[in-house]
Amino acid sequence: MILAKTPSEIQRYVSVRETELGLGVFAREFIDIGNTIAIVQGQLIYDPNYHSEYCIEMGPEESLDPDPPFRYLNHSCDPNCWIYSNYEDDEDFIEEDELGLYVCRTIYPGEEITIDYGWPASSAIPCRCGSDCCRGWIVNPEELPTVLAANERERQKDWIVIDQPIASGNPNPEIILL
């Protein structure tokens, strides 16, 4: 079921606090697995070129720029929530253009509420979530091999040595890939 349907109900369940990596959303109450904390409100964006670090992708050309507090949901490779849409049960209905924040692991008071951003490889950045199963990158798990391969190529570039001309004069400095 959807636990919080009004701003004051949302405030009962969560608060926004500083973390080491900027703001984050924290639980104020015990939140049981299987519930939806709330529907994430925000501005629907239909421009594929629109960029905001807070945007949540909803389709190839559609994203949601969330309002606070869920604007400040941080990534974890081992999240306690998922984002989903288009869901219906006996009590609640979440439409295609809405996003529900679903609790996939029981959350205790004071715990940070996190989701897996699952970014495409082209947007991947190093991850500092600190979970035991951290992938090392904020990226969709299926695209992790792409990121690792690109990173390995970058790392190898560090080993490219440009020969300096020696005293006698080397007319043809070479690039050697070790």
- Contact residues for Zn ion, defined by CB under 5 A: 77, 127, 129, 134
E-assigned strand segments in 7-163: 14-19, 22-27, 36-40, 42-45, 56-57, 63-66, 74-75, 81-84, 87-88, 93-94, 99-103, 112-115, 125-126, 137-138, 160-162
At its nearest, how many Å lie between Zn ion and the CB of residue 124? 11
At its nearest, how many Å lie between Zn ion and the CB of residue 104? 16
Report the half-sphere exposure of 73 (CA within 13 A, side-chain side): 27
Smaller CB separation from Zn ion, 51 or 128: 128
At its nearest, how many Å lie between Zn ion and the CB of residue 37? 21
Smaller CB separation from Zn ion, 38 or 129: 129
Smaller CB separation from Zn ion, 3 or 148: 148
Smaller CB separation from Zn ion, 71 or 135: 135
39 closest CA partner among 109, 104, 86, 108: 86
SS3 state of residue 20:
coil
At its nearest, how many Å lie between Zn ion and the CB of residue 78? 8
SS3 state of residue 142:
helix
At its nearest, how many Å lie between Zn ion and the CB of residue 168? 52
Contacts of 133 (CB under 8 A, 6+ apart): 77, 78
